């Protein structure tokens, strides 16, 4: 026992030295990313040979202090919370950044933006209506239309460039994020295996464990993979939910030109019957899509999506993929889940419609997600891959795929669209946010084109011919004025009569922007029709065809008054014959009449401009049209013709229509609201992430002040034990010298 005192003090020296090393290491790595504070734990040392006994007891003498363990100070529960919230924040932040960039592309408010160009165009129409005899007024109007179209072109081109930056291969943000994720998974595997090896053979692996946790943090920021742990809290494996199949029907016919006429779509071969189940409890259909004869692939996609919405669906189901094939899928249906319940049911179609579109009748279901082991201690089994979507027609989304991590790269399935992280935000933005912005812009451009062209075609040129349309195009990208009009302005009508002094057509166009009357709506179809006297001429346009959804509630408004020798007569007037002046007629897909003509409600007293009809679309009805009542027997009226603006709203959720002036304000406001909401979501999720990370850092982070205090303690402990060793040395020297 004589040397126990020296052994005790020596153990104290060694323990203090270990404490100094741990504390110094903490201070040195205070600002190292991913570093976890080390805590040294001491225990009382026991000498197995130093014992004493009495008749009552037998005990071991304590022999100093020893290091029990050096631990990384972490909280697994907080780690999980931080990583989950990091995934949410990076999703929200990416969507916010892209939404703000979309608003920047729109460039509103601005003196040279879309709203300003739109105002100048309709102001030019108003000026032209006031001075129809001035050739310069017509030139200004045409030039203003050209400037407006080019403004739409420029914004649409900017959207295209932005989409390519997000999803274009190989350098887009999505492919880059997928490559980064795959690289980090490879690195994680190497670090994980090395850490396990060191732990198994008893070697220190704190730095490897720090690197492993930092990689898990970085991976969670990119995508929220599932992290499974062992009983001791160490990483066990990463998993991901994968759908082996999705509810998507793909046609076999590749349409090389999306705007070319599909000649095979004819009366009798122009309907498609569908039903859609979003996998989350909502079934839409069965519903019938009625196509116009010789529709283009673009028009087919638009008609399917619009009919789906009219039937109560939210989102989009139809698109053309990169090879021009028609896709019908549930991926972008509101609140959709890809599971065994999700369903695309192609019920059938008239004539050879299915063959024309390359579709096959039948049901295509998705599959329930299965959990696949992405990585464990034995290896990285899969890698992620992005299938680039095509957005030329409809929204054919990018898809995140799982492929085997070998030379074969066998496709295993598709990740559900509900994942988070930066990659989830990019995919959501590329698949939904940006296309919605761009589609809204194109829909608006096309509504301007349709409304202006229809009014122009209701007029008569000074040469006595029907007025020609001003605009051409199929979306905001190719929206343009017809160069034939630019080179020969005389083809464009300025009034209804053809007189040089008649600016009535231009006045109607100006009303599209300045009038308080309802003109354009998201859920309504608007037609400008010219109805001639019975037996004199056809409806102009020849067919005011508006596609319908059978069985739905329909509301039809007709605005317009005819001057009958000084008597004002509107569409609902019935004082000169049997039924209303203008009548409603339904036809089936083959053009055959369904039932008899339907009258607008009778006008009482002096006629109002607007008359309205509400009813239910009869079974089998594909279109509705409007005709002059052949039963009218007023002699004077037979020499007149009627110009009417007709608005058809289907379903109970049809929104209130508005003018183009209010519409552009609504679009700019909606874009701004979406951006503000995205920013708010990012700020909220960022604040929560910061709060959670602060809590985690309070445990695992290094406080320099606390470590400095510990350093002083360890220095003093070392000095004290060194002094004790010195004293024992003096004692032993004295004893030896004696």
3-state secondary structure 396-419: ECCEEEEEECCCCCCEEEEECCCC
Evaluate whether residue 527 is within a structural domain.
yes
Q: Would you call 637 helix, strand, or coil by DSSP?
A: helix
Residues 265 and 362 placed together within one structural domain of the fold: yes
Q: Using alpha carbons only, give the angle 63, 66, 71 rounded to the nearest 5 degrees.
A: 160
Q: How far apart are CA 469 and CA 509, in angstroms?
A: 12
- The pLDDT confidence band at residue 174, using thresholds 50, 70 and 90, is very high
pLDDT, tens digit (0-9, with 9 covering 90-100), for 127-147: 999 999 998 999 999 999 999
> Which pLDDT score, from 0 to 100, does residue 540 have?
42
Residues 709 and 595 placed together within one structural domain of the fold: no
Q: Would you call 387 helix, strand, or coil by DSSP?
A: strand
Q: How far apart are CA 449 and CA 149, in angstroms?
A: 10
pLDDT, tens digit (0-9, with 9 covering 90-100), for 409-437: 999 988 877 789 999 999 988 888 888 88
Residues 710 and 617 placed together within one structural domain of the fold: no
Partnered with residue 333 across adjacent β-strands are 315
Q: How far apart are CA 145 and CA 253, in angstroms?
A: 37
pLDDT, tens digit (0-9, with 9 covering 90-100), for 300-319: 998 899 889 878 898 899 99
| Cβ atoms of 371 and 395 closer than 8 Å | no
| Cβ atoms of 188 and 215 closer than 8 Å | yes
Length of the chain: 738
Nearby residues of 391 by Cβ (< 8 Å), 6 or more positions away: 163, 319, 435, 438
Residues 567 and 645 placed together within one structural domain of the fold: yes
Residue 84 has pLDDT above 60, yes or no: yes
Domain boundary among 366, 398, 431: 366
> Which pLDDT score, from 0 to 100, does residue 146 have?
94
Evaluate whether residue 10 is within a structural domain.
yes
- The pLDDT confidence band at residue 612, using thresholds 50, 70 and 90, is confident
Residue 169, judged by CB atoms within 10 A of its CB (0-12, 13-18, 19+), counts as exposed
Note the helical H segments in 278-395: 297-310, 353-357
Task: Say what angle helices 704-737 and 4-28 make with each other, to 10 degrees.
Answer: 160
Evaluate whether residue 647 is within a structural domain.
yes
Q: Please report the sign of the dihedral spanned by the C-alpha atoms of residue 115, residue 116, residue 119, residue 121.
A: negative
> Which pLDDT score, from 0 to 100, does residue 129 have?
92
- Total number of domains constituting the chain: 3
DSSP-assigned letter for residue 571: T
> Which pLDDT score, from 0 to 100, does residue 539 have?
43
pLDDT, tens digit (0-9, with 9 covering 90-100), for 52-78: 555 555 555 556 888 878 888 888 889
Secondary element (H or E) of residue 507: helix 504-514
Note the helical H segments in 235-343: 297-310
Evaluate whether residue 607 is within a structural domain.
yes
Evaluate whether residue 238 is within a structural domain.
no
Q: Would you call 65 helix, strand, or coil by DSSP?
A: strand
Q: How far apart are CA 552 and CA 618, in angstroms?
A: 8
Nearby residues of 215 by Cβ (< 8 Å), 6 or more positions away: 184, 187, 188, 191
Residues 528 and 627 placed together within one structural domain of the fold: yes
Q: Would you call 64 helix, strand, or coil by DSSP?
A: strand
Residue 439 has pLDDT above 70, yes or no: yes
- The pLDDT confidence band at residue 526, using thresholds 50, 70 and 90, is low
Residues 653 and 705 placed together within one structural domain of the fold: no
Domain boundary among 657, 684, 709: 657
| Percentage, residues of the chain above pLDDT 90 | 32
Where is average pLDDT lowest: 270-284, 430-444, 527-541, 545-559? Answer: 527-541
User: What is the rounded end-to-end Cα distance, in angstroms, of the chain?
Assistant: 19
Evaluate whether residue 304 is within a structural domain.
yes
**651 against 435, higher pLDDT:** 435
Secondary element (H or E) of residue 722: helix 704-737
Q: How far apart are CA 576 and CA 567, in angstroms?
A: 11
pLDDT, tens digit (0-9, with 9 covering 90-100), for 96-123: 999 888 888 877 777 778 888 888 998 9
Q: Across residues 10-17, what is the average pLDDT?
A: 85
Where is average pLDDT lowest: 20-34, 35-49, 255-269, 369-383? Answer: 35-49
Domain boundary among 622, 641, 657: 657
> Which pLDDT score, from 0 to 100, does residue 575 have?
63
Q: Using alpha carbons only, give the angle 326, 332, 337 rounded to the nearest 5 degrees.
A: 120
| Cβ atoms of 338 and 364 closer than 8 Å | no
**401 against 109, higher pLDDT:** 401
Where is average pLDDT lowest: 19-28, 531-540, 690-699? Answer: 531-540
Domain that holds residue 569: 521-657
Q: Across residues 527-552, what is the average pLDDT?
A: 56
pLDDT, tens digit (0-9, with 9 covering 90-100), for 477-522: 899 999 999 899 999 998 888 888 989 889 888 887 776 554 554 4
Residue 586 has pLDDT above 80, yes or no: yes
> Which pLDDT score, from 0 to 100, does residue 543 have?
41
Residue 733 has pLDDT above 90, yes or no: no
| Cβ atoms of 624 and 584 closer than 8 Å | yes
Residues 613 and 539 placed together within one structural domain of the fold: yes
| Cβ atoms of 573 and 564 closer than 8 Å | no
Closest CA to 29 of 488, 667, 703, 485: 703
pLDDT, tens digit (0-9, with 9 covering 90-100), for 657-676: 566 777 777 777 777 778 88
Residues 601 and 707 placed together within one structural domain of the fold: no
Q: Across residues 360-367, what is the average pLDDT?
A: 95
Residues 526 and 639 placed together within one structural domain of the fold: yes
Q: Across residues 244-257, what is the average pLDDT?
A: 91
Q: Across residues 602-611, what is the average pLDDT?
A: 67
> Which pLDDT score, from 0 to 100, does residue 537 have?
45
Residues 707 and 647 placed together within one structural domain of the fold: no
Q: How far apart are CA 246 and CA 86, in angstroms?
A: 28
Q: How far apart are CA 211 and CA 74, in angstroms?
A: 14
Q: Across residues 686-692, what is the average pLDDT?
A: 93
Residue 167 has pLDDT above 80, yes or no: yes
- The pLDDT confidence band at residue 652, using thresholds 50, 70 and 90, is low
What count of Cα atoms within 13 Å lies in the side-chain half-sphere of residue 319? Answer: 24
Closest CA to 181 of 373, 36, 375: 375
CATH code, domain with 526: 2.60.120
Q: How many C-beta atoms lie closer than 10 Å to residue 368's C-beta?
A: 16
> Which pLDDT score, from 0 to 100, does residue 9 have?
80
Q: Across residues 155-183, what is the average pLDDT?
A: 91
Residue 469 has pLDDT above 60, yes or no: yes
Q: How far apart are CA 491 and CA 464, in angstroms?
A: 10
Evaluate whether residue 562 is within a structural domain.
yes
> Which pLDDT score, from 0 to 100, does residue 279 have?
93
Residues 717 and 636 placed together within one structural domain of the fold: no
Residues 261 and 359 placed together within one structural domain of the fold: yes
Q: How far apart are CA 417 and CA 369, in angstroms?
A: 12
Q: Across residues 632-645, what is the average pLDDT?
A: 62
Evaluate whether residue 317 is within a structural domain.
yes
Q: How far apart are CA 613 and CA 597, in angstroms?
A: 13
> Which pLDDT score, from 0 to 100, does residue 533 have?
54
């Amino acid at each position: 026992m004589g040397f126990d005192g020296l052994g005790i003090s020596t153990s104290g020296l060694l323990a203090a030295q270990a404490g100094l090393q741990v504390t110094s290491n903490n201070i040195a790595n205070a600002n190292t990313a991913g570093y976890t504070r080390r805590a040294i734990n001491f225990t009382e040392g026991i000498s197995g040979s130093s014992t004493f006994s009495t008749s009552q007891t037998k005990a071991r003498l304590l022999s100093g202090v020893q290091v029990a363990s050096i631990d990384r100070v972490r909280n697994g529960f907080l780690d999980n919370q931080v990583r989950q919230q990091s995934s949410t924040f990076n999703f929200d932040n990416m969507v916010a950044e892209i939404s703000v960039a979309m608003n920047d592309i729109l460039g509103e408010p601005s003196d040279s933006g879309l709203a300003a160009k739109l105002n100048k165009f309709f102001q030019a129409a108003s000026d032209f209506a006031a001075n129809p005899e001035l050739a310069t007024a017509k030139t200004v109007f045409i030039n203003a239309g050209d400037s407006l179209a080019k403004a739409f072109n420029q914004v649409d081109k900017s959207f295209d460039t932005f989409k390519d930056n997000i999803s274009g291969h190989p350098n887009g943000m999505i492919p880059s994020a997928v490559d980064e994720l795959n690289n980090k998974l490879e690195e994680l595997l190497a670090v994980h295996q090395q850490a396990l090896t060191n732990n198994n053979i008893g070697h220190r692996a704190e730095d490897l464990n720090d690197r492993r946790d930092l990689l898990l943090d970085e991976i969670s920021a990119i995508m929220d993979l599932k992290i499974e742990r062992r009983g001791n809290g160490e990483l066990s494996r990463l998993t991901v939910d994968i759908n082996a199949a999705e509810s998507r029907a793909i046609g076999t016919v590749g349409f090389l030109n999306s705007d070319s006429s599909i000649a095979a779509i004819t009366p009798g071969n122009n309907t498609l019957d569908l039903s859609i189940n979003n996998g989350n409890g909502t079934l839409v259909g069965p519903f019938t899509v009625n196509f116009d004869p010789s529709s283009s692939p673009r028009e087919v996609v638009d008609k399917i999506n619009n009919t789906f919405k009219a039937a109560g669906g939210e989102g989009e189901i139809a698109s053309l993929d990169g090879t021009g094939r028609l896709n019908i899928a549930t991926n972008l249906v509101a609140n959709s889940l890809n599971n065994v319940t999700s369903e695309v049911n192609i019920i059938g179609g008239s004539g050879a419609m299915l063959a024309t579109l390359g579709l096959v009748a039948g049901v295509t279901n998705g599959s329930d997600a299965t959990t696949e082991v992405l990585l464990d201690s034995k290896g990285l089994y899969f890698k992620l891959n992005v299938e680039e979507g095509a957005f030329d027609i409809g929204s054919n989304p990018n898809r995140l795929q799982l492929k085997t991590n070998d030379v074969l790269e066998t496709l295993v399935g598709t990740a559900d669209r509900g994942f988070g992280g930066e990659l989830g935000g990019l995919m959501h933005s590329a698949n939904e946010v940006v296309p919605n912005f761009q589609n809204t812009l194109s829909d608006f451009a096309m509504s301007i084109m349709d409304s202006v062209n229809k009014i122009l075609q209701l007029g008569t040129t000074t040469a006595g011919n029907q007025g020609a349309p001003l605009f051409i195009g199929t979306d905001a990208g190719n929206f343009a004025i017809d160069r034939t009009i630019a080179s020969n302005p005389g083809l464009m009508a300025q009034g209804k009569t053809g007189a040089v002094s008649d600016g009535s057509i231009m006045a109607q166009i100006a009303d599209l922007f300045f009038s308080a009357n309802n003109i354009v709506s998201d859920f309504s179809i608007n037609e400008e029709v010219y109805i001639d006297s019975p037996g004199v001429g056809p409806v102009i346009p020849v067919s005011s065809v508006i596609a319908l959804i059978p069985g739905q509630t329909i509301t039809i408004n007709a605005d317009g008054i005819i001057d009958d020798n000084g008597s004002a007569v509107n569409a609902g007037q019935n004082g000169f014959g049997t039924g209303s002046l203008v009548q409603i007629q339904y036809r089936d897909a083959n053009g055959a009449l369904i039932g008899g003509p339907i009258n607008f409600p009778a006008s009482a007293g002096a006629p109002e401009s607007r008359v309205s009809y509400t009813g239910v679309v009869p079974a089998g009805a594909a279109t509705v049209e409007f005709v002059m009542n052949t039963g009218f027997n007023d002699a004077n009226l037979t020499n007149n013709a009627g110009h009417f603006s007709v608005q058809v709203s289907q379903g109970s959720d049809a929104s209130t229509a508005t003018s183009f002036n209010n519409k552009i304000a609504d679009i700019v406001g909606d874009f701004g609201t979406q951006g503000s909401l995205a920013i708010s979501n990012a700020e909220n999720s960022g604040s929560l992430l910061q709060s959670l990370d602060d809590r985690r850092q309070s445990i695992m982070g290094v406080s320099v002040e606390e470590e400095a205090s510990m350093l002083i303690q360890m220095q003093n402990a070392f000095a004290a034990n060194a002094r004790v060793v010195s004293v024992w040395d003096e004692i032993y020297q004295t004893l030896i010298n004696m």
